[in-house]
């Protein structure tokens, strides 16, 4: 969804540019000699990018299949030329005011209209607008855009610096010097320069729509609604109506209406406003009695109101603006505690919310390919996994309206980073800061009406990189004066400039200067204050997964374990003969530590599950390790409430098919982690966490109401024989974590063989098991798990089909798979107790025989080999 779609009533004469677009390598560019096939005019798509245009004409291979990345780096070194031919109808041409609006130009762009310069752009995150009154003609208009390579444009300046500021990921391909990275000097999606989960494709193009706007003497340019006071009895609001007027002073009527979620009018204000020539803001107070407030998922309904402003009377064309808003208050509560720490909790409508969710990265290497259907698939999956918050990470781009509209609808709170992904920024450069401020103002104003947005954050990991990773220390040793200037520029940009934009434009949403951080306090990644990124598990020093239980932050905004996607997805990018951990094509899709990520993944698989027998076993065991490890961390965070008030793992989605930390693959299919997330983020859940011989059992209630429940603990052997049992009924307070017991290994299993003994802890309500967790006394590799303990079949017909699982003995991590067949199941990655039967809903168009032939179920007992 473009801005035009959301503001269609507002922009009465705004239309997408109906043009015939073409592109080519810019004549005279150094790349023409090596790539003459790209030097002829060919049709182009806008919105789009040069990579997707080249792919559409068969001039490059699929950037995701095989290992073509190194051979495509020339595209980012080239200059590209786009042109559009378009006509303008007589009615549009007759209006006295016209402007072209470019919603996204990536990045250094020189624009001409009918042979005359129109604008020079240098920021892909901005909306660029230029008046074209008197410059349009009825037929034969030509719009020309030259996109300059950001690498060749900026490299001379960066190389001329006596000392350089830290960048992000150096290119392994020789297209950019490793000691002179340009990515943090250019306002362009940082991930285009490569990241540890995605490819390096430095693209260019008009990546968002171009539109033509025309109007007569007046127009409404924006409508925002500020919440001044809100409770269950009343909402006191102020509508902010921005109007542009061209002509002598005139008094015109302004009408404001508010309609409830069913479309019934609940408020109406009519007043005359005096318009002087130029831009105006009209503030209109309005009151709603007994408002229906917008709540995050799990806390209440996602009710939204429609606010409409109409300017004019019956003798002139009325200009209208409308917004769909949610009535909610938001606070970032940071209370000091007795130990000198400081909390970090989101408070919505006066209620503290435990944030459950994941980090979102870009959905594709080429943003214009992301449609509303893919967004809906992935965000709905987040909600279905009981998430209530997503963090939009700062190394990508500000999402389309469609993303936030879905978040509003689904009740997903959004932590929104400004687009700074890492390294250090040249905030010491006044021109750079001015560009960022304009970018921030564009995007805060564009998105501020969405109730889902509850935080604007200055950047991702820049403060901790400077303070903790050696970036600041190294520059201070090399040039103390320049280091001081760089840090002051950082403070000016993230401590002042962006904070001021959010204060002026953000309608009361709080600002946070960096993640992780404590808003420019001394320590940048402190477990006792602010938010935390924890990478000592997986990252260096690669601590065991159990270390998650010894890290208790105030708010965990990043942590993660890696895995590969499904075998079917890997088959799409690599032939079976090339599917080895160290093969070139597999290494090309493993971006962590310059391709050494598979060794790190093996380190964690071996520690918990033993040596994989082959590549398919490596895929499966990696996915199980990821799911079980993140479950351990997330449940620990939830059990630490209210000290800890958020758990956002890295990451929700994928940018392409490859190894990453995601729970959903590039197509939005659920990996084992996402099925596990639905359990460990459930509103009512049990957390049974064993560490250093002690199992701590906590009961979790995220609902806004007390809950009457029972909990039950059973000790079993792997054959199903019960060794001990206890149970208790109690009432869980609303929004709470209640510890109900700590049990030593000796208390639980006595002299029983730890390899053959397990603990089953369940949370029940009215006899129904809501949540179940198994506790094991040894790693899976050392457990008495046997192959062939599970029978699987398919029953039913049509829409009533199901997969039936029957366990003979203990079954761990049963994964139901239909290969490349389009089939989904209602639950997956299942532990079954001896004798247990499970019936899992199955959804597929294929006939029963085809499904039976494709069905595969893997279990740890079947897959693990090489155990000690």
Tokens 């039950």, residue?
Answer: 712
Q: pLDDT tens-digit profile of 96-138?
A: 999 999 999 999 999 999 999 999 999 999 999 999 999 999 9
Can you list the alpha helix ranges (DSSP code H) found in 701-756? 745-749
Would the pLDDT of 326 be above 50? Answer: yes
Q: Which residues contact 470 (CB under 8 A, 6 or more apart)?
A: none
Q: How many CA atoms lie within 13 A of 766 on its CB side?
A: 1
Dihedral of the alpha carbons of 608, 610, 614, 615, in degrees to the nearest 10 = 20
Yes or no: domain 352-672 corresponds to CATH 3.20.20.80: yes
> Token pair of 352, please?
């503290």
Please give the share of the chain, as a percent, with pLDDT higher than 70: 97
Please give the share of the chain, as a percent, with pLDDT higher than 90: 93
- CA 291 to centroid of chain Cα atoms: 30
- CA 363 to centroid of chain Cα atoms: 8
The 10 Å CB-count burial string (b at 16+, else e) for 145-175 is bbbbbbbbbbbeebeeeeebbbbbbbbeeeb
Would the pLDDT of 868 be above 60? Answer: no
* Distance between CA atoms of residues 239 and 283, nearest Å: 6
CATH node for 682-784: 2.60.40.10
Residue 251 CB neighbour total at 10 angstroms: 8
Q: Write down the pLDDT at residue 10.
A: 40
Tokens 């020079």, residue?
Answer: 120
> Of the given ranges (10-14, 233-237, 561-565, 609-613), which has the lowest mean pLDDT?
10-14
Under DSSP, the state recorded for 85 is: E
* Distance between CA atoms of residues 773 and 697, nearest Å: 10
* Distance between CA atoms of residues 544 and 546, nearest Å: 5
Q: pLDDT tens-digit profile of 150-159?
A: 999 999 999 9
Q: pLDDT tens-digit profile of 235-256?
A: 999 999 999 999 899 999 999 9
Domain extent listing, the chain: 3-211, 217-325, 352-672, 682-784, 786-868
Q: Using alpha carbons, select from 785, 745, 755 the residue that is nearest to residue 624.
A: 785
> Of the given ranges (308-317, 347-356, 481-490, 767-776), which has the lowest mean pLDDT?
308-317
Q: What is the mean pLDDT of the chain?
A: 95
Q: pLDDT tens-digit profile of 17-53?
A: 999 999 999 999 999 999 999 999 999 999 999 999 9
* Distance between CA atoms of residues 204 and 148, nearest Å: 8
The pLDDT-based confidence of 319 (bands split at 50, 70, 90) is: confident
**700 with 709: CB under 8 angstroms?**
no
Concatenating the DSSP letter of every residue in 382-419 gives HHHTT--EEEE-TTS-PPPHHHHHHHHHHT-EEEEE-S
The 10 Å CB-count burial string (b at 16+, else e) for 395-418 is bbbbbbbbbbbbbbbbbbbbbbbb
CATH node for 786-868: 2.60.40.10
* Distance between CA atoms of residues 37 and 85, nearest Å: 23
* Distance between CA atoms of residues 401 and 521, nearest Å: 34
CATH class assigned to 3-211: mainly beta
pLDDT average, residue stretch 394-420: 98
Domain pair 682-784 / 786-868, same fold: yes
3-state secondary structure of 376: helix
**441 with 479: CB under 8 angstroms?**
no
Q: Which residues contact 423 (CB under 8 A, 6 or more apart)?
A: 165, 166, 167, 168, 181, 183, 184, 462, 465, 471
pLDDT average, residue stretch 634-660: 98
Per 3-state DSSP, what percentage of the chain is helix, strand, and coil (rounded to 5)?
Answer: 25, 35, 40
Largest CA distance in the chain: 93
pLDDT average, residue stretch 839-848: 95
**767 with 708: CB under 8 angstroms?**
no
> Token pair of 715, please?
């000790």
Can you list the alpha helix ranges (DSSP code H) found in 18-70? 50-56
Q: What is the pTM of this model?
A: 0.96
The pLDDT-based confidence of 14 (bands split at 50, 70, 90) is: low
Q: Write down the pLDDT at residue 314.
A: 43
CATH node for 217-325: 2.60.40.10
Q: pLDDT tens-digit profile of 262-317?
A: 999 999 999 999 999 999 999 999 999 999 999 999 999 999 999 999 988 644 44
Would the pLDDT of 521 be above 80? Answer: yes
Q: Using alpha carbons, select from 724, 533, 12 the residue that is nearest to residue 312.
A: 12
Q: Write down the pLDDT at residue 379.
A: 98
What distance, in Å, lies between the first and last C-alpha atoms of the chain? 55
Q: Which residues contact 44 (CB under 8 A, 6 or more apart)?
A: 21, 22, 23, 53, 82, 205
**289 with 233: CB under 8 angstroms?**
yes
């Amino acid at each position: 969804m473009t801005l035009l779609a959301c503001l269609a009533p507002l922009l009465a004469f705004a239309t997408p540019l109906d043009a015939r677009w073409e592109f080519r390598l810019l004549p005279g560019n150094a790349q023409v000699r090596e790539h003459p096939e790209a030097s002829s005019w060919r049709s182009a798509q806008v919105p789009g990018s040069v990579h997707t245009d080249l792919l559409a004409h068969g001039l490059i291979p699929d950037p995701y299949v095989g290992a073509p990345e190194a051979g495509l780096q020339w595209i980012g070194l080239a200059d590209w030329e786009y042109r559009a031919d378009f006509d303008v109808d007589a009615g549009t041409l007759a209006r006295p005011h016209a402007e072209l609006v470019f919603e996204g130009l990536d990045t250094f762009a020189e624009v001409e209209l009918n042979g005359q310069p129109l604008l020079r752009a240098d920021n892909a995150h901005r909306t660029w607008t230029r008046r074209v009154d008197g410059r349009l003609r009825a037929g034969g208009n030509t719009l020309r855009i030259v996109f300059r390579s950001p690498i060749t444009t900026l490299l001379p300046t960066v190389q001329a610096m006596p000392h350089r500021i830290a960048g992000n990921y150096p290119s392994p391909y020789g297209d950019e010097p490793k000691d002179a990275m340009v990515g943090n000097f250019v306002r362009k999606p940082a991930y285009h320069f490569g990241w540890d989960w995605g490819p390096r494709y430095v693209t260019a193009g008009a990546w968002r729509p171009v539109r033509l706007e025309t109007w007569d003497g007046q127009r409404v340019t924006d409508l925002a609604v500020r919440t001044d006071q809100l409770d269950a009895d009343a909402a006191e609001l102020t509508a902010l109506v921005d109007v542009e007027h061209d002509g002598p002073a005139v008094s015109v009527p302004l009408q404001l209406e508010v309609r409830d979620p069913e479309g019934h009018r609940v408020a109406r204000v009519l007043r005359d406003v005096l318009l002087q020539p130029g831009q105006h803001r009209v503030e209109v107070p309005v009151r709603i009695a007994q408002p229906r407030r917008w709540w995050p998922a799990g806390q209440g309904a996602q009710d939204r109101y429609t606010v409409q402003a109409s300017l004019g009377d019956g003798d002139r064309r009325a200009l209208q603006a409308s917004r769909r808003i949610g009535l909610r208050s938001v606070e970032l509560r940071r209370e000091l505690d007795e130990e000198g720490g400081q909390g970090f909790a989101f408070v919505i409508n006066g209620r503290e919310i435990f944030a459950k969710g994941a980090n979102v990265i870009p959905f594709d290497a080429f943003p214009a390919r992301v449609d509303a259907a893919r967004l809906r698939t992935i965000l709905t999956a987040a909600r279905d996994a009981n998430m209530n918050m997503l963090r939009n990470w700062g190394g990508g781009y500000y999402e389309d309206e469609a993303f936030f509209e879905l978040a509003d609808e689904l009740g997903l709170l959004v932590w929104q980073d400004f687009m700074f992904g890492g390294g250090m920024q040249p905030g010491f450069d006044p021109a750079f800061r001015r560009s960022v401020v304009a970018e921030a103002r564009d995007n805060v104003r564009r998105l501020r009406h969405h109730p889902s947005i509850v935080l604007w954050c200055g950047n991702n990991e820049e403060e901790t990189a400077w303070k903790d990773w050696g970036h600041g220390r190294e520059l201070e040793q090399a040039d103390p004066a320049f280091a001081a200037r760089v840090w002051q520029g950082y403070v000016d940009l993230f401590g002042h400039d962006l904070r001021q934009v959010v204060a002026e434009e953000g309608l009361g949403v709080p600002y946070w200067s960096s993640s992780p951080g404590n808003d420019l306090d001394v320590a940048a990644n402190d477990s006792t204050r602010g938010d935390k990124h924890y990478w000592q598990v997986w990252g260096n020093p690669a601590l065991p997964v159990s270390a998650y239980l010894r890290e208790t932050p105030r708010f965990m905004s990043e942590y993660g374990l890696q895995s590969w996607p499904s075998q079917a997805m890997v088959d799409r990018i690599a032939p079976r003969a090339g599917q080895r951990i160290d093969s070139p094509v597999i290494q090309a899709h493993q971006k962590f530590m310059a391709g050494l990520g598979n060794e790190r993944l093996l380190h964690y698989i071996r520690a918990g599950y033993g040596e994989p027998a082959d590549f398919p076993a490596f895929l499966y065991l990696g996915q199980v390790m990821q799911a079980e490890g993140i479950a351990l961390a997330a449940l620990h965070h939830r059990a630490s409430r209210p000290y800890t008030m958020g758990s956002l793992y890295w990451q929700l989605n994928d940018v392409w098919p490859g190894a990453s930390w995601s729970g959903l693959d590039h197509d939005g299919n659920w990996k084992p982690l996402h099925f596990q997330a639905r359990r460990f983020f459930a509103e009512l859940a049990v957390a049974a966490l064993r560490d250093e011989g002690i199992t701590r059992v906590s009961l979790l209630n995220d609902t806004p109401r007390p809950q009457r429940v029972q909990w039950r603990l059973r000790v079993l052997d792997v054959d199903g024989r019960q060794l001990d049992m206890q149970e208790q009924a109690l009432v869980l307070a609303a929004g709470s974590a209640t510890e109900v017991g700590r049990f030593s290994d000796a208390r639980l299993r006595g002299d029983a063989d730890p390899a053959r003994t397990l603990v089953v802890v369940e949370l029940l309500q009215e006899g129904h098991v809501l949540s179940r967790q198994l506790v094991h006394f040894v790693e899976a590799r050392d457990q008495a798990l046997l192959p062939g303990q599970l029978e699987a079949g398919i029953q039913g017909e049509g829409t009533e089909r199901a997969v039936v699982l029957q366990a003979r003995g203990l079954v761990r991590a049963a994964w139901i798979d239909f290969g490349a067949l389009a089939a989904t199941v209602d639950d997956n990655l299942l532990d079954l107790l001896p004798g247990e039967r499970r019936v899992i809903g199955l959804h597929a168009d294929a006939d029963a025989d085809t499904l039976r032939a494709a069905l595969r179920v893997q279990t740890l007992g079947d897959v693990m080999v090489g155990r000690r």
